[in-house]
């Protein structure tokens, strides 16, 4: 008997509101199927199921807000036994299915390896909370560690001796309330006084979920529609603020930039688009995304997460794309396995992602990229130096493509050029690797025909 | 999409404007088109990006039943320019 739980859909997500069910009891679901629509502070997310099975019972009514980890539905593990494999390649693991260095089967892990069976976000939380994953017993029968496993562990092993010895500086006049470090941090970020909170952790300790409901102004319980309009914008802003502030606080960024000659790429694109109807035309962004994905694949150290004080290579390139929302704010859903997608596939994926992100419909498997691209070319800026989206270790920025004088074959001439930047986490990446990555990217953009060639079949999506 | 699928109907500036408005509403539902300066650059006035512009050209090509060439699209920088083009193209 499996349970489908409220997933953690972002580094700072603690609770989510179930907006609607996309399945009913008796429905057979496959891993990767969209089963529910969930509202987070930032956006509405189509949530996919992690395992095959039959929906036995829906446990939560639409419109209800619940903490991450709360069982939402019961699943009977009676997936069609020898039917076709799940549509997504195994490498398209959903967020909670450990993108560990080695592509090991992630649902049956027991023993010491079970400790690694947690998503990077969960592992990051464990790091923040000072929880050793190896000592944890996941509640989820599949062996996956969820956010609530970490919080429970953090609360139990801190609460008894919490305030006086363990805490660094009690807020005022001696004893602060008992609280997990993560809850303290959340409270500090949100400007909430811990003393005013009622702890629901063991021994009354204040845990993250006690802080969160008061932090975003919108977290209206059981009233999903109210979290719209201005409130929604405010909570989107707050979610961005948290992640960005954490990034700049924790990540020692360094920045590289490179000016790339796009004469060949622009000419290729012009000829190509001339013979395509509008619905099949390519934007320069498709070439930039493809070159970035291939360069990230060639330099795996860039395509990685920083978790538990170490680099974890992501493997597949899940290419996050910064998409500005017309109402303000930005989201960074990713194009999964981008290195194995053709130019046309990337263009279609980008168009689809932009439309869905602006309509507020991103999928849970798209929320955790391995590297992000921010493209401000349309806004006319020369260059953008992005803020890294943790736990990723790099963000690539593209400025606008503009005609500039360049020296070419010993002559001064005018070519379209583009400034490409890399912001990287110096804990995980050095300048040498960053430079090589940018050089590879620039070289790839000199060969548009090669970029346009179909990616190597076999591993494609 | 071919010409035979959608025989081209001549558009007047009024019907062309309606087609442009319809395409824009799908891209930017929150826009108040009455408040838009129709001679101002689309990208600035309406905050459109290149994906938005491509979507609009695709929708308008569909509407007139024949593809708008990219080099023509590059010249359609304002609402007025779009309307003029559609009227001229379908005349």
Nearest by CB to residue A278, choosing from B43, B50, B68, is: B68
Q: A275-290, pLDDT tens digit by residue?
A: 999 999 999 999 999 9
Range list of H helices, A251-340: 263-274, 284-298
What's the pLDDT band for A193 if we cut at 50, 70, 90?
Answer: low
B5 interfaces chain A, CB cutoff of 8 Å: no
Tell me: pLDDT of A138 over 70: no
* Secondary structure element (H or E) that encloses residue A358, with its range: helix A343-359
Q: Give me the pLDDT at residue A43, please.
A: 73
Q: Which of B28, B31, B58, B85 to mutate to test the interface with A (most CBs of A within 10 A)?
A: B58
Q: Which of B68, B70, B73, B76 to mutate to test the interface with A (most CBs of A within 10 A)?
A: B70
Please judge whether B67 and A285 are an interchain contact, meaning their C-beta atoms are less than 8 angstroms apart: no
Q: Give me the pLDDT at residue A230, please.
A: 67
Please judge whether A351 and B55 are an interchain contact, meaning their C-beta atoms are less than 8 angstroms apart: yes
Instruction: Kindly report the average pLDDT of chain A as a whole number.
Output: 77
Please report, in angstroms and rounded to a whole number, the separation of the first and last CA atoms in chain A: 30
Please judge whether B28 and A350 are an interchain contact, meaning their C-beta atoms are less than 8 angstroms apart: no
- Tell me how far apart the alpha carbons of residues A96 and A440 are, in angstroms, rounded to a whole number: 31
Q: Contact, A47 vs A36, CB < 8 A?
A: yes
Nearest by CB to residue B57, choosing from A278, A284, A378, is: A278
Whose CA is closest to B20, among B8, B33, B10, B30? B33
Q: 0.80 cut: is pTM over it? A: no
- Tell me how far apart the alpha carbons of residues A106 and B31 are, in angstroms, rounded to a whole number: 47
Instruction: Residue B55: list chain A partners with CB under 8 A.
Output: 351
| Residue A66 CB coordination number (10 Å) | 19
Q: Give me the pLDDT at residue A218, please.
A: 28
- In the predicted model, what is the mean pLDDT of residues A355-367? 87
- In the predicted model, what is the mean pLDDT of residues A264-275? 95
Kindly report which listed range (A57-71, A94-108, A398-412) carries the lowest average pLDDT score.
Answer: A94-108
Nearest Cα of chain A lies from the Cα of B52 at a distance, in angstroms, of 9
- Tell me how far apart the alpha carbons of residues A405 and A391 are, in angstroms, rounded to a whole number: 39
- Tell me how far apart the alpha carbons of residues A350 and A347 are, in angstroms, rounded to a whole number: 5
Q: Give me the pLDDT at residue A422, please.
A: 98
Residue A160 phi/psi, 5-degree rounding, is -60, -40
Q: A239-252, pLDDT tens digit by residue?
A: 899 999 999 999 99
Structure ipTM: 0.86
- Partners of residue A320 on adjacent β-strands: A334, A372
Instruction: Residue B68: list chain A partners with CB under 8 A.
Output: 278
Angle, in degrees to the nearest 10, between helices A147-158 and A181-190: 110
Q: Which of B54, B66, B68 to mutate to test the interface with A (most CBs of A within 10 A)?
A: B54
B66 interfaces chain A, CB cutoff of 8 Å: no
């Amino acid at each position: 008997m499996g349970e489908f739980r409220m997933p953690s859909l972002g580094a700072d997500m603690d609770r989510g509101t179930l907006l609607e069910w996309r399945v009913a009891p008796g429905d057979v679901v496959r891993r990767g199927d969209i089963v529910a629509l969930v509202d987070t502070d930032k956006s509405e997310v189509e949530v996919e199921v992690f395992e095959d099975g039959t929906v036995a019972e829906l446990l939560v009514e639409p419109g209800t807000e619940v903490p991450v980890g709360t069982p939402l539905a019961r699943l009977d593990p009676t997936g069609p036994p020898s039917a076709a494999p799940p549509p997504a390649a195994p490498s398209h693991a959903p967020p909670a299915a450990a993108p560990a260095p080695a592509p090991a089967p992630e649902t049956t892990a027991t023993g010491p390896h079970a400790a690694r069976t947690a998503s990077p976000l969960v592992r990051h939380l464990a790091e923040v909370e000072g929880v050793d994953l190896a000592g944890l017993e996941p509640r989820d029968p599949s062996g996956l560690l969820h956010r609530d496993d970490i919080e429970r562990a953090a609360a139990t092993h801190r609460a008894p001796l919490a305030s006086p010895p363990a805490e660094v500086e009690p807020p005022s006049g001696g004893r602060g309330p008992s609280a997990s470090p993560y809850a303290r941090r959340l409270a500090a970020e949100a400007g909430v006084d811990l003393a005013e909170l009622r702890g629901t952790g063991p021994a009354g300790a204040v845990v993250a979920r006690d802080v969160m409901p008061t932090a975003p102004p919108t977290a209206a319980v059981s009233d999903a529609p109210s979290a719209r309009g201005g409130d929604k914008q405010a909570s989107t802003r707050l979610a961005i603020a948290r992640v960005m502030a954490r990034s700049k606080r924790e990540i020692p960024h360094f920045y590289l930039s490179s000016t790339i000659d796009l004469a060949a790429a622009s000419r290729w694109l012009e000829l190509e688009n001339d013979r395509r109807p509008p619905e099949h035309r390519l934007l320069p962004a498709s070439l930039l995304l493809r070159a970035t994905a291939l360069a990230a694949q060639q330099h795996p150290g860039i395509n990685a997460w920083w978790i538990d004080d170490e680099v974890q290579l992501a493997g597949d390139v899940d290419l996050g794309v910064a998409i500005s929302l017309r109402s303000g704010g930005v989201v960074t859903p990713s194009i999964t396995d981008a290195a194995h997608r053709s130019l046309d596939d990337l263009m279609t994926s980008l168009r689809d992602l932009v439309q869905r992100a602006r309509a507020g419909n991103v999928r849970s498997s798209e929320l955790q990229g391995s590297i992000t691209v921010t493209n401000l070319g349309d806004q006319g800026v020369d260059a953008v130096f992005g803020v890294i989206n943790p736990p990723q270790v790099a963000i690539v920025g593209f400025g606008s493509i503009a005609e500039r004088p360049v020296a070419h074959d010993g002559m001064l001439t005018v070519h379209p050029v583009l400034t490409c930047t890399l912001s990287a986490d110096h804990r995980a990446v050095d300048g040498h690797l960053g430079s090589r990555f940018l050089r590879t990217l620039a070289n790839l953009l000199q060969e548009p025909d090669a970029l346009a060639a179909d990616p190597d079949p076999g591993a494609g999506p | 999409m071919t010409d035979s699928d959608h025989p081209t109907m001549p558009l007047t500036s009024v019907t062309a404007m309606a087609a442009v408005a319809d395409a824009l509403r799908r891209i930017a539902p929150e826009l108040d088109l009455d408040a838009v300066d129709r001679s101002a650059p689309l990208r600035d006035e309406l905050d459109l990006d290149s994906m938005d512009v491509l979507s609009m050209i695709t929708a308008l090509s569909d509407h007139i039943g024949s593809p708008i060439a990219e080099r023509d699209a590059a010249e359609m920088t304002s609402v007025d320019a779009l309307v003029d083009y559609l009227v001229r193209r379908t005349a």
